[in-house]
Amino acid sequence: MKTDAIYKELGISDQVLDYCRKVEKGLEDRFARIDETAEYNQMKVIKAMQENRVSDVHFAATTGYGYNDLGRDTLEKVYASIFHTEEALVRPNLISGTHALHVALSGNLRPGDELLSPVGKPYDTLEEVIGIRESAGSLKEYGVSYRQVDLLPGGKFDYQGIAAAINNRTKLVTIQRSKGYDTRPTFSVEQIGELISFIKSIKPEVICMVDNCYGEFVETIEPTDVGADMAVGSLIKNPGGGLAPIGGYIVGKRECIEQASYRLSAPGLGREVGASLGLNTAFYQGLFLSPTVVAGALKGAIFAANVYEKLGFAVVPDGKEERYDIIQAITLGSPEGVIAFCQGIQAAAPVDSYVSPEPWDMPGYDAPVIMAAGAFVQGSSIELSADGPIKPPYAVYFQGGLTWYHAKLGIMMSLQKLAEKNLVTL
Ligand SMILES: *Cc1c(COP(=O)(O)O)cnc(C)c1O
């Protein structure tokens, strides 16, 4: 077959190809369900664009202050329609997920308020935003205290502990949907809804914010459909569809979005300013593609889980579990395994495929880290990427893939590299 031949030309052996084809064959039902979700979400996006009368005039660039940027304002209405919220901020000058989360938090919290995380420790970069790790400019420095309730064994919510932690200073609750690079499970939107209902039954006026990174379009509902007052994410992950070269979003209640906008620009200015600099087309088109891109990334994650689980490696989530984000962890058990895996992902990339990643001592990490990414947008993790710290248990975190076929090649190439080093027997 022609396809077999080109896989061979790319460096995939018959053995790896045969094994992976068998695995893929067993995933047809799963993939069909992912396609159903993608179909629904594609219609949701098109409906939102039609209802808000998206037109080619919205693709024009603004510069300077960016007053009356119709494209920007309409894009924000489209996001608000998709997430079923009153308002949205979708901006290139929200420069990352961490920045968007910082703006949402610091815009809505005041000195004397308390922030609560009822789902354990938040994503690494938020430790400095909050002041869990000492940091100049943290919320802690501005007199915002922080409280955390850890999850119970098995990743369950500690309802008793949460009830005890809510007090008269609790102003905002931050709920991280994805496990990120932690070992706890990722929460479904339904679980998040249950948690929010519980919190609101104790203190109805508390603001519930969801860190939605890596979760967008994985399900047919979003956290704002189940009571979240704000949801926040990065455009170089799911909703940018691989085309957004930068950006973040905050969707939610009018009051929350306005408060955030005064922190993003300046008090008095808010959302009226902020030029889109010609990026609107990429934001619209990326959002349009996002449901199918997310579906491809999900298929890649499920394929990876099954390819490696059947070879005896520990995988989280496992090959059969329901998915609530696009991240896949695989424990390879040796430094050589982590390195070979990442080198395979790199070798399958459309960009920089000829370079070979090596572990290095990245600032802020206690062990050397190896990263593979051959991406069109630097640091984009909706594109096929993998990384792992060189320390026990020698796990890699794998995510993304703008197309299923690319994700599939990446996984096959990773296995090929492991096979060549005799780290697996097929
Ligand atoms: C990626 C991510 C963030 C933000 O990261 P950035 O690299 O700043 O975009 C925050 N929370 C979670 C769970 C994430 O996965």
Q: Is the CB of 317 under 6 A from ligand 1?
A: no
User: What's the CA-to-centroid distance between 213 and ligand 1, angstroms?
Assistant: 6
pLDDT for res 367: 87
361 pLDDT higher than 70 = yes
Tell whether omega for the bond before 393 is within 30 degrees of 0, i.e. cis.
Answer: yes
The predicted-structure confidence for 226-271, as pLDDT tens digits, reads as follows 999 999 999 999 999 999 999 999 999 999 999 999 999 999 999 9
pLDDT for res 60: 95
pLDDT for res 366: 78
The predicted-structure confidence for 60-90, as pLDDT tens digits, reads as follows 999 999 999 999 999 999 999 999 999 999 9
User: What's the CA-to-centroid distance between 139 and ligand 1, angstroms?
Assistant: 18
pLDDT for res 182: 79
Where residue 8 falls among pLDDT bands split at 50, 70, 90? Answer: very high
| Residue 344, token pair as written in the block | 């395979």
CA-nearest residue for atom 6, ligand 1, is 97
The predicted-structure confidence for 140-180, as pLDDT tens digits, reads as follows 999 999 999 999 998 999 999 999 999 999 999 999 999 98
54 pLDDT higher than 80 = yes
User: What's the CA-to-centroid distance between 232 and ligand 1, angstroms?
Assistant: 10
The predicted-structure confidence for 274-330, as pLDDT tens digits, reads as follows 999 999 999 999 999 999 999 999 999 999 999 999 999 999 999 999 999 999 999
Residue from 176, 237, 399 whose mutation best tests the ligand 1 pocket (most atoms within 8 A of CB): 237
Instruction: Give the nearest ligand 1 atom to 97 CA.
Output: 9
Partners of 251 in the β-ladder: 88, 231
The pTM for the full model equals 0.96
pLDDT for res 364: 67
224 pLDDT higher than 80 = yes
Q: Is the CB of 214 under 6 A from ligand 1?
A: yes
422 pLDDT higher than 70 = yes
Tell whether omega for the bond before 223 is within 30 degrees of 0, i.e. cis.
Answer: no
Produce one character per residue of 36-65: b if its CB has 16 or more CB atoms within 10 Å, e if not: ebbeebbebbeebbeebebeeebbeebeee
142 sits in the region (left: phi over 0; alpha: psi -120 to 50; else beta) called: alpha
pLDDT for res 270: 97
pLDDT for res 14: 97
User: What's the CA-to-centroid distance between 98 and ligand 1, angstroms?
Assistant: 6
